[in-house]
Amino acid sequence: MPLFLVLVAVPIIEIALFIEVGGWLGLWPTLAIVILTALIGTVLLRAQGLAAVGDLQRRLQMGEDPSPTIAHGAMILVAGLLLLTPGFFTDGVGFLLLTPPVRNALIGYLKKRITLVQTSVHGGFSAQGDRNRGDRNRGAGGPGTVDGEFEVVDPQPAGQDGDASGWSRPPKIE
């Protein structure tokens, strides 16, 4: 229901602001402002987006937690979408999201409202078995293990028909 209200309220607010600003300034100055804010927003978005990507790369290389940078990058992306959407209200929200203090406050608010659940999956599948245990011909036998049998249907060696890997061959035409 809140998403529905946002999807209805934002266009109504934008239309009302266009009517008010257009009545006060006129059509062409109003359109010029909308285009100018989109251009300024695009320049700011590019600069901050590149800075976020650089910070993300640095954090990953240093082995640091990249989640704050990812959160900032996501908000910069939303800000860019809002700035490219014609309208005064969306431009205002977009410019606010481009300011780091507003992003930090929003991230702090969201941290309190979001519960982090961590799931890890251990194990995997190996066609050769577990090399460390030496059981190449039998499955691991743990929960979720599916044992199966196979039969080689076409024992054509790898590398024939111009395929060096043996994974794919062109169809035989008889």
- The tokens for 124 are 């995997």
Q: Is the pLDDT of residue 67 over 90?
A: no
Q: What is the pLDDT of residue 32?
A: 92
Integer Cα distance of 162 and 156 in angstroms: 12
Integer Cα distance of 9 and 24 in angstroms: 23
Q: What is the pLDDT of residue 28?
A: 92
Q: What is the pLDDT of residue 46?
A: 87
pLDDT digit string (tens) for 2-21?
888 988 998 899 999 989 99
Integer Cα distance of 15 and 21 in angstroms: 10
Q: Cα–chain-centroid distance for residue 12?
A: 29
DSSP symbols for 142-169? STT--------S--PPTTGGG-SSSS--
Say whether pTM exceeds 0.75: no
Q: Is the pLDDT of residue 125 over 70?
A: no
CA-to-CA separations, 3 to 8, 10, 75, 84, 103, in angstroms, rounded: 9, 11, 18, 20, 21
Integer Cα distance of 136 and 72 in angstroms: 47
pLDDT digit string (tens) for 36-53?
988 888 888 888 888 888
Q: What is the pLDDT of residue 62?
A: 87
The mean of the pLDDT values for the chain is 78
Q: Is 154 left (phi over 0), alpha (psi -120 to 50) or beta?
A: beta
